[in-house]
Structure 1
Amino acid sequence: MPSTPRLILASNSPRRRQLLTDLGLRYEIRLQEVAEAYPPHLRRAEVAEYLAAHKAEAYRAGLAPDEVVLTADTIVCLGEDVLNKPTDAADAVRMLTRLQGRHHDVYTGVCLLTGGGQQVVFSDQTRVYFRALSDAEIRHYVEQYQPLDKAGAYGAQDWLGLVGVTRLEGSYFNVMGLPVHRVWEELTKLGFRIT
């Protein structure tokens, strides 16, 4: 692979875009619709890694030899229950009601796939602690912030994160949708350098 691979971000997430930009990486965005279903026997980190690798497969045939596609999937786990993106506002309220007053785990799975067929899949875990939230706070957040595009129905970087998250164990950026410390480590192994 050439010393300066081209990075393709296969994500519509503004948070992932911002994190890669903050790393100083140049990248191109390519989007394809990929179903986010997974085998029911998978648990926690396995789900996030499976979904990231599954998304990358959709890009395999179209990658040039000097390209690397980055796919990712973030899930929220309350015990063994996977809370993905809510289906509607009522589902978001239900999820947040379950999360409040306790801790949960956030997993982000990442897949890096090169045009030459090399594949690296990994995940990162962060434990998030929420204070007890009132029904009014939960309703306000869902109505005003429309968190339907977020796993677990919240973003740590927005209003609910500001008023509800009391403690994190692990990477804050992982909760935002990309464990950038691990991504950078793996990209440097593939030839990416500080410019």
Structure 2
Amino acid sequence: MSKLILASASPRRLELLAQIGIVPDQVAPADIDETPAADESPRRLALRLAEEKARAVAKSNGGAFVLAADTVVACGTRALGKASDEREARKFLTLLSGRRHRVYGGVCLIAPDGTERSRVIETQVKFRTLGTEDLDRYLLHDEWKGKAGAYAIQGHAATFIKAISGSYSNVVGLSLCEVDGLLRGLGYPVKEV
């Protein structure tokens, strides 16, 4: 049986895969430039980054299944990456306050024979209006660090969520429905849980 490599350093993605009984044989984060291209839409950015990560890892791991993903939080046409500091995190959260935004999850799977399948999953998230006290309390924790849009839906920011439409696991970091379908579709032996 071919091994499965997760091209991501995200502990959340490992936890999500474990929920559906999948434990990658190897974790090999891809080192790529994640800078958005000029005029690149958030949807396209999520897809491109997932594909580039998968291809970079597959290049040196022939004969394996390689799974990669990327999450982009978008407010309108603006992609909100990982906040570089607390000030930028506050700016992102203020922008999302009281608004609906989209979370795009790019997923790419490359099979041992080189067949590549990619998807973009879109989830809409509505934040309640956040006050200064909400932001101060949230930013006391380091939960915002390393998170697209400066929040983790599965943590303290769950109290900000007024509504969600689409895949919850996509917002956490990996749409399990899509990943399960991609793995099965390309012949990876997914165990029934």
Common fold by TM > 0.5: yes
Residue matched to 1:16: 13
Q: Gapped runs of 5+ residues in structure 1?
A: none
Aligned mate of 2:115, from 118, 135, 147? 118
2:178 equivalent to 1:182: yes
Residue matched to 1:90: 87
* Deviations 1:129-188, CA, capped at 9 Å, x for gaps: 010111111121122134120000001000112x11011000100000101101100100
The amino acid that maps onto 1:70 is L
After superposition, residues 1-195 of structure 1 pair within 5 angstroms as 4-27=1-24, 28-65=26-63, 67-161=64-158, 163-195=159-191
Q: Is the 8 A contact 1:38 1:51 kept in 2?
A: no
Following TM superposition, the consecutive aligned residue runs of length 4 or more in structure 1 with deviations greater than 6 angstroms are none
- Give TM-score, length-normalised by structure 2: 0.93
> What secondary structure is seen at the aligned counterpart in 1 of 2:149?
helix
The amino acid that maps onto 1:24 is G
> What secondary structure is seen at the aligned counterpart in 2 of 1:32?
coil
For the residues of structure 1 that align with 2:86 and 2:22, how far apart are their CA atoms?
35
The amino acid that maps onto 1:63 is N
1:60 Cα deviation after fit = 2.6
1:85 Cα deviation after fit = 0.5
For the residues of structure 2 that align with 1:46 and 1:32, how far apart are their CA atoms?
19
> What secondary structure is seen at the aligned counterpart in 1 of 2:8?
coil
Q: Is the 8 A contact 1:63 1:114 kept in 2?
A: no
How many residues were matched structurally? 190
For the residues of structure 1 that align with 2:91 and 2:20, how far apart are their CA atoms?
35
Q: Is the 8 A contact 1:133 1:164 kept in 2?
A: yes
Q: Gapped runs of 5+ residues in structure 2?
A: none
Q: Which moved more, 1:184-193 or 1:87-96?
A: 184-193
* Deviations 1:82-126, CA, capped at 9 Å, x for gaps: 001111110000000110111100001011122322111111000
**CA spacing shift, 1:146–1:194, aligned 2, 3 Å:** closer
The amino acid that maps onto 1:116 is D
> What secondary structure is seen at the aligned counterpart in 2 of 1:160?
helix
1:58 Cα deviation after fit = 1.5
* Deviations 1:8-50, CA, capped at 9 Å, x for gaps: 0111111100011111013121123222123222212111001
For the residues of structure 1 that align with 2:130 and 2:48, how far apart are their CA atoms?
32
Q: Is the 8 A contact 2:124 2:165 kept in 1?
A: yes
The amino acid that maps onto 1:144 is H
- Give TM-score, length-normalised by structure 1: 0.92
Same amino acid, percent of matched pairs = 35
1:5 Cα deviation after fit = 3.0
For the residues of structure 2 that align with 1:39 and 1:29, how far apart are their CA atoms?
27
